[in-house]
A and B are shown apart, each in its own frame.
Chain A
Amino acid sequence: MRCTGLLGAALGAAIALFCFPGCDKSKIEIYRVEKEHDSQTSQMPGAPGGMSGRGAVIWQAPTDWEEQPASGPRRGTFKIHGKDGSEAELSITAFPGDVGGLLANVNRWRGQIQLPPLAQSDLAQATTPLSASGRAILFVDIVSAKPIKDGKKSRILGGTLALDDETWFFKLIGPDELVGAQKEQFKRFLETIKVEGTPALASSAENTGSKTNAPTPPTLAPITPPFEYKTPPGWIPQPLAPMRLASFKVAGSNGAEADISVVSLAGIAGGDLANINRWRDQLKLPPVSETELASISSHLNARGHDFLVTDLVSTEPLPPSQRKMRIVAAASQQGEQTWFVKMTGDVDLVEAQKNHFFDFLRGLSISDISRSDESAAHQ
Chain B
Amino acid sequence: MVRYLKACGRGLSSLRLTVVLLGLSMVMIFFGTLDQVHLGIHAAQAKYFRSLFVFWQPAGAGWSIPVFPGGYLIGPLLFMNLVAAHGMRFKLAAKKIGIFLIHAGVVVLLLGELFTGLFAKESMMRMDIGTAQTYSEAPRETELAVIDTSSNEDDLVVAIPESLLARATVIQHPALPFTLKIVKFMANTSLAMRSQAPNSPPSLATTGIGPNVVAKEIPRTVKQDERDLTTAFVQINTVQGPLGTWLVSNALGAPQAFTYDGHTYELRMRQKRYYKPFTIKLLDFRHDIYPGTDIPKNFSSRIRLIDSRQKEDRNVLIYMNSPLRYSGYTFYQAGFDNSDKTSILQVVKNPTFLLPYIACGLVGAGLLTQFSMHLVGFLRRRRA
Contact = CB atoms under 8 A, between A and B. Distances in A.
Is chain B a partner of chain A in the same complex? Answer: yes
Binding site secondary structure of chain B: mixed
A35 B131 contact: no
Nearest to A211: B291
B370 interface: no
Given A23-B118, A213-B292, A35 B149 contact: yes
A119 interface: no
A13 B163 contact: no
A215 B294 CA distance: 7
A54 interface: yes
Interface stretch (B208-216, B235-243, B323-331): B208-216
B117 interface: yes
Contacts of A111: 198
A41 B268 CA distance: 14
Interface in A318-375: none
Interface string A165-181: 00000000000000000
Interface in A15-46: 17-18, 20-21, 23, 25-36, 38, 40-46
A30 B76 contact: no
Given A4-B6, A28-B171, A93 B193 contact: yes
Nearest to B227: A46
A26 B212 contact: no
B72 A21 contact: yes
Contact of A28 (B114, B173, B344): B173
A25 B163 contact: yes
A306 to B, nearest CB: 34
Contacts of B80: 10-11, 14
B175 A30 contact: yes
B14 interface: no
A255 interface: no
Contact of B6 (A3, A29, A34): A3
Contacts of B164: 26-28
Contacts of A29: 157-159, 161
Nearest to B294: A214
A215 B293 contact: yes
Contacts of B135: 33
Contacts of B132: 38, 41
Measured as residues with beta carbon below 8 angstroms from the partner, the interface class of chain B is 35 or more
Contact of A72 (B2, B118, B127, B209): B209
Interface in A56-80: 71-73
A13 B134 contact: no
Given A6-B87, A35-B155, A72-B213, A40 B128 contact: yes
Given A29-B159, A51-B253, A53-B253, A34 B154 contact: yes
Contact of A35 (B154, B163, B213): B154
Interface string B132-146: 111100000000000
Interface string B289-300: 100111000000
A34 to B, nearest CB: 6
B200 to A, nearest CB: 14
Contacts of B338: 54
Q: Chain A CB within 10 Å — which of B87, B213, B253 has the most?
A: B253
B84 A10 contact: yes
Interface string B152-173: 0111111111011001000101
B371 interface: no
B8 to A, nearest CB: 8
Contact of A73 (B79, B213, B268, B271): B213
Interface of B: 2, 5-6, 8-9, 12, 50, 52, 72, 76-77, 79-80, 83-84, 86-88, 114, 117-118, 124, 126-128, 131-135, 149, 153-161, 163-164, 167, 171, 173, 175, 191, 193, 195-196, 198, 208-209, 212-213, 226-227, 229, 250-255, 268, 270-271, 275, 289, 292-294, 337-339, 344
Given A33-B154, A44-B251, 20 more contacts: A6-B83, A7-B83, A14-B80, A18-B72, A20-B114, A26-B161, A28-B160, A30-B158, A32-B154, A32-B157, A33-B135, A38-B131, A41-B133, A46-B226, A72-B208, A72-B209, A93-B193, A198-B339, A214-B293, A216-B294
